[in-house]
Amino acid sequence: MYAFDFVKPGTLAEASEALSHDGALPLAGGQTLIAAMKQRLNAPEKLVSLTGIPELKGVCAGDGGVTIGAATTHAAVAAQAAAYYPALAALAGQIGDPAVRNRGTIGGSLANNDPAACYPSAVLASGATIVTNTREIAADDFFQGMFTTALHDGEIITSVKFPVPQKAAYAKFQQPASRFALTGVFVAKFADGVRVAVTGASESGVFRWTEAEAALTANFSAAALDGLSVPADGMIGDLHGTPEYRAHLVKVMTKRAVVAAG
Amino acid sequence: MPKDGGIGASTKRREDLRFLTGNGRYTDDINLRGQAFAHFLRSDVAHGRINRIDTAAAAAMPGVLRVFTAADFAAVGGLPCGWCVTDKHGQPMREPKHPVLADGKVRHVGDPIAVVVAETYAQARDAAEAIVVDITELPAAINMKAALAPDAPLVHDDLPSNLCYDWGFVEDNKAAVDEAFRTAAHVTTLELVNNRLVANPMEPRVAVGDYDPWNDQHTLYTTSQNPHVIRLLMGAFVLGIPEHKLRVVAPDVGGGFGTKIFHYAEEAFCTFAAKQLKRPVKWTCSRSEAFMTDAHGRDHVTKIELALDKDNNFTAIRTETYANMGAYLSTFAPSVPTWLHGTLMAGNYRTPLIYVNVKAVFTNTVPVDAYRGAGRPEATFQLERVVDKAARELGVDPIELRRQNFIKPDQFPYQTPVAVVYDTGNYHATLDKLLEISDIAGFEARRADSARRGKLRGFGVAHYIEACGIAPSNLVGQLGARAGLYESATVRVNATGSISVYTGSHAHGQGHETSFAQVVAEMIGIDAKQIDIVHGDTANTPMGMGTYGSRSLAVGGSAIVKATNKIINKAKKIAAHLLEASEDDIELKDGKFSVAGTDKSVDWAGVTLAAYVPHNYPLENLEPGLEETAFYDPSNFTYPSGGYGCEVEVDPETGKVEIVAFSAADDFGNIVNPMIVEGQVQGGLAQGIGQALLESCVYDDNGQLLSGSYMDYAMPRADDLPMFKVDHSCNTPCTHNPLGVKGCGEAGAIGSPPAVVNAVIDALHRAGHTHVTHIDMPLTPARVWAAINGN
Amino acid sequence: MAKLTMTVNGRTLSADAEGRTLLSDFLRGGLGLTGTHVGCDTSQCGACVVHVDGQAVKSCSMLAHEAAGSTITTIEGMANADGSLSTLQQAFQDHHGLQCGFCTPGMVMSAAALLAENPKPTEAEVRHHLEGNICRCTGYHNIVKAVLAASGQDVSGVGIAAE
């Protein structure tokens, strides 16, 4: 790693101030950023830890939804959100491994927007709202392609507000080495329709499979997807799978998510 | 029941105490006073001409002691190759220079260009970024067959092509083999890839060089499987340091699997730099660096043909293999696709005619060398796959086709057509045992259950032979080895009867400190706790060749037996004197010397004390003291064998393969510690299953390493594997070493890959996907899905 | 450089550390606790797992300064007060759950975290929980067996071939 100054503010206001300077980067759980810094792929002058700010942590339910503090770890979401949004909790419990889940945070995952990360699929499929220190951003506006989001420099995610669907499930097919999603599909059925979000598969990052959403809104069953297919164009091709394979997996995982959602 | 601490007992490992409490002493745990840190600047292109290296800015950075380049190594040698293969025309292989630091050209991603030594590791790395390197990138030779094309880029400009050697074995058999194929009733042909692997011991490599100017004494602490070999290669061939001025210490080593056999540039660098700087110099490899510097394994492309007569008897085997050497010849690389591979092509079968052709190829990739099994997994995989394919083509049971062609129990010793003579074995017994423990009778019911859940179940077997305990030195000398392959032991009995055994073998997970002590305890009849096993330091152990090729017990253990027998013989002389009896009448049992037919006796400690306090002692005939050294050079390889059975479930929607059961029935000869043997098999199975399903080291066409970390190189995890059923009750002891042992370290990795692939093909065929005759490893979900769908 | 203080294995310890110092490097280099190992640089292998305030974390993926004031347990702090092996450590020895020993510290720390939250895990739960700890020697068979045994479950029939 390159040398940097480390600060760990205790309040959001202090963190905002610290991040307002050029060369400052926020550090959440660090499960991606620290690995990248070890490879010298990032060179912040100042690293501002967000893990010491109590107001960024916690899971609370109300108004038909669940709000999760941005610095809440995956392990905490898996444990604390289970009563309110089981599918989301189950997804959190599949990220990385237990030690990674004890450090990694939802805010960090979303800000990084890795195209194979799990959380973006839940956020997009749920139609969640990303709350920052300056504004609220709808999920449909937040994800802007792999590793790209609507966040401005210095902007801090403070929480994520999830509406809780009637039914939902996440079906993940693991990339065998990294255990990220080779393809992961989150299906959420709301009173006014179904949303389907796919991670791991597309070169454009997480995306909504609108044809499946329409079919499932009409008939929430795996059979409703039978006639559909996802084009391989734009899907990721790498060591672990061709674009055709990923396109195929999108459908298989969507079906499995629908079945799991019940 | 064997007694605890003796031969045959599952004695708990004494080394575990330090490992379980964080008190192991691995090389990276060694921090010498005043040590500086080395960071290697490595090539990020696969092939390029170095026009200029400017180190001035780096040298001026904070904490930098010195920046080294190839110019600093002008006066020293390159890294030597320890084995010279002679090609089919009788010519020696082509052997390019392997400089410590890249000289003029870089030849693979990771090739070291310069080294910064600084006060801290971070300073060294910071400064390395300030080195200016002007490189003209050249087209790279990556694919082996393309690398042999006339217009291919040359990895080494001073060689006429990228061919290292073209080897034929047995060349005199070639015409007869070709004739057998012309007259065969059936020929099965299979083209396959034995995928390139990275050994990945969990401890990355580390080297710490130290120099004492007042005694002109060099010390290297290194993560090695064979410290004496490193001392010899580095001392004699690279740095010109005589052995008495060079000590090599390999302390606790966190796994090796072959990749820590070889002598690496970083070892020579740290030893060299420590003298230049008069400071200890430490280098710790990161995992990412390991992927582009540790010697890789396997990487063969093979066409195998099997000829059968009208009764399905094997009549001939013919193979053509391209073997990747990488950019330079690693220490034992040339031996792997030749003498460790071609000599095993008979497998367990009576095939009378065999011809093996191997073309070894230089490419712009990391050097390839021995990895767990080394040559034998490649031989076993092609053979056990082609036999399975032949059975399907002929419509016969693959198990019965194997049984029909097995060497019969009464045919041992068995002279194969590929030079080696198997001393013992009973392949019918291990196959029968395998089928029993696999519960093959219940397979159909299990398959039906899988089918109800939408899964395709299959069962595959493989039977392997391997040659272990390398080897008779005079034989390997004829075959091109530039080293002897004996092993050594010094047994030092102390005055009060405790014993220190100094072995030339090295343990990096094998538990020698426990099992070697069991051997000595059994022979003398004393408590194993009285015996310590010392290894890993050239300063106190006799010249040994180290641990690889499942040789430690068969060769190193035999040396210990030999030295202990010398001790016992001398101790009997002392006992005879003390008991005033004839030496011929002295018996040793349970640590007590007695005169046969009398109640006169003296215990072990009484004799050892007399040896060192020789008041009542036959000084006129016998030297005082009780310490003996022995060197053991085996008269043959050992030949472990066994049958492996794999049961899989394939998810036809995703192509994902799950190993639902795996059974192994091995013949390792006699066994000293069954617990340790089972652990070796289980670990080997995991690596073989890893090769079959998960692991693959992949370069792109430009020579960039695509699988350069655990993010893309899939290591087997706990939830990828089942519990294993491991049996070793079918033992035919080795006839030519004193313990009757054969070696167990590599078997799991050798026998399991074809069992897995055969099981997957079986599952697909049972489900009607009979168009799938082969899938190249690793059988990733994507590949299996593509195969099912005809892509 | 800034002074950093934490409670490690019951002792309050201080040393200087740069902002970029990883917790694993601080433990190994700063405090001399070399039982915690580093086997990769992508947060995959788990050899570096320690407990920070009771939770298993990969110490190679956490800055040392993030652990300022925390209570840390490393493999050196896992034995019983009298120095004898804990039940879990003893199970690893009894069932040959280690070979080269390099992954072992992280494996023990992860397994201890599992047993703390799930005292009687199934085989599948043990395997799943240990997915972030890579062992290259054992094939995991005996590690899983050791963890099950440490939880008080009978493992006498696990994986035994017919005799």
Both tokens of B389, joined, read 């394919």
Q: Which CATH superfamily groups domain B31-138+202-255+260-291?
A: Aldehyde oxidase/xanthine dehydrogenase, a/b hammerhead (3.90.1170.50)
CB of B618 within 8 Å of any CB in chain C? no
How high is the pLDDT of residue C160? Answer: 61
Phi/psi class of residue B171: alpha, beta or left (left: φ > 0; alpha: ψ in -120 to 50)? alpha
C72, C100, C135: which to substitute to probe chain B, counting the most B Cβ within 10 Å? C100
On whether any CB of chain A is under 8 Å from the CB of B718, the answer is: no
Per the structure block, which two tokens stand in for A243? 């674009």
Q: What's the pLDDT at A175?
A: 97
Given this model, what pLDDT does residue B434 score?
98
Tell me whether domains B31-138+202-255+260-291 and B296-470+636-788 share a fold.
Answer: no
Residue C163 pLDDT class (50, 70, 90 cuts): very low
Task: Specify the 3-state DSSP secondary structure of A59.
Answer: strand
Q: What is the pLDDT of residue C159?
A: 73
pLDDT tens sequence across A163-179 = 999 999 999 999 999 99
- Residue bearing tokens 């045959």: B8
Residue B499: its pLDDT value, please? 98
Cα-Cα-Cα-Cα torsion A56, A62, A65, A70, nearest 10 degrees, comes to 0
Which residues 6+ apart lie within 8 Å of B103 measured at CB?
B70, B73, B97
Question: Helix (H, G, I), strand (E, B), or coil: what is residue C76?
Answer: helix
**In chain A, which residue's Cα lies nearest the Cα of B782?**
A241
Query: Which residue from A8, A37, A39 is facing C65, i.e. has the nearest CB?
Result: A8
Give the closest-approach CA distance of B408 to chain C in angstroms: 24
**CA distance, residue A145 to nearest chain C CA (Å):** 23
DSSP-derived secondary structure for A146-190 = TT-BSPPTT--EEEEEEEPPSEEEEEEEE-TTT-SEEEEEEEEEE
CATH class of A5-49: alpha beta
Sheet strands (E) in B711-789: 724-727
Contact A98 C20 (CB under 8 A): no
C2-76 is a CATH 3.90.180.10 domain: no
**Helix or strand or coil: residue B3?**
coil
How far is C-alpha B11 from the chain's CA centre?
Answer: 25
Q: C49 and A6: CB-CB below 8 Å? A: no
pLDDT digits (tens, 9 = 90+) for A46-63: 999 999 999 999 999 988
Nearest-CB residue to A177 (from B125, B286, B710): B710
Chain B residues close to C123, C-beta within 8 Å: 723
Q: How far apart are CA B149 and CA B344, in angstroms?
A: 30
B778 prior amide bond cis, ω within 30:
yes
Residues of C in contact with B30 (CB under 8 A): none
How far does C12 lie from chain B, in Å, by closest CA?
Answer: 19
User: Distances in Å between the alpha carbon of B258 and those of B297, B365, B370, B516, C38?
Assistant: 9, 18, 5, 21, 21
Please tell me the predicted confidence (pLDDT) of residue C162: 42
Q: In degrees rounded to 5, what are phi and psi of residue B368?
A: -110, 135
Distance CA B734, CA A104 (A): 55
Residue B471 confidence (pLDDT): 82
- Give the Cα separation of C65 and C53 in Å (integer): 14
* Strand (E) or helix (H) holding B284: strand B281-284
Between positions 192 and 221 of B, the ones with CB within 8 A of C are 200-204
**A233 CB neighbour count, 10 Å cutoff:** 9
Q: Which of C92, C96, C139 sits opposite B676 (nearest CB)?
A: C96
**CATH-assigned architecture of domain A167-261:** 2-Layer Sandwich (3.30)
Residues 6+ apart with CB under 8 A from B716: B686, B687, B689, B690, B694, B695, C139, C140
Of the candidates A4, A102, A178, the beta carbon closest to that of C57 is on: A102
CA of A173, closest CA in chain B: separation in Å? Answer: 9
B436 CB neighbours in chain C (<8 A) are 162
**End-to-end CA, chain B:** 56
A245 → chain B, closest CA residue: B782
Low-confidence ranges of chain B (pLDDT < 50): none
Nearest Cα of chain B lies from the Cα of C114 at a distance, in angstroms, of: 14
Class of domain B296-470+636-788 as given by CATH: alpha beta
Interchain CB contact of B170 with A (< 8 Å): no
In CATH, what class is B16-22+486-632?
Answer: alpha beta
**Mean pLDDT for the stretch of residues A103-115:** 96
* Nearest Cα residue to A113 out of A85, A82, A138, A149: A149
pTM above 0.80, yes or no: yes
Chain A residue closest in CA terms to B696: A239
Q: Does B195 touch chain A (CB under 8 A)?
A: no
Q: Do C100 and B748 touch (CB under 8 A)?
A: no
Q: Given an 8 Å threshold on Cβ–Cβ distance, is C161 in contact with B437? A: yes
Domain range A57-163, CATH class: alpha beta
Contacts of B627 (CB under 8 A, 6+ apart): B490, B491, B492, B493, B567
Distance from CA of C141 to the nearest CA of B (A): 6
Q: What residues contact residue A223 under an 8 Å CB cut-off, 6+ apart?
A: none
Cβ contact, residue pair A34, C65, below 8 Å: no
**Cβ pair C55:A49 closer than 8 A:** no
Domain extents for chain B?
16-22+486-632, 31-138+202-255+260-291, 296-470+636-788
Query: Cα distance from B391 to chain C (closest Cα, Å)?
Result: 28
Is the predicted pLDDT of residue C2 greater than 90, yes or no? no
Domains in chain C: boundaries: 2-76, 87-150
The complex scores an ipTM of: 0.98
The CATH class, in words, for C87-150 is mainly alpha
Please report residues of A whose CB lies closer than 8 A to that of B129.
Answer: 40
- Count of C-beta atoms within a 10 Å radius of residue A164: 19
What is residue B49's predicted lDDT score, i.e. its pLDDT?
Answer: 98
Q: How far apart are the first and last CA of chain C?
A: 62
Q: Comparing C-alpha atoms, which of C122, C114, C13 is closest to residue C68?
A: C13
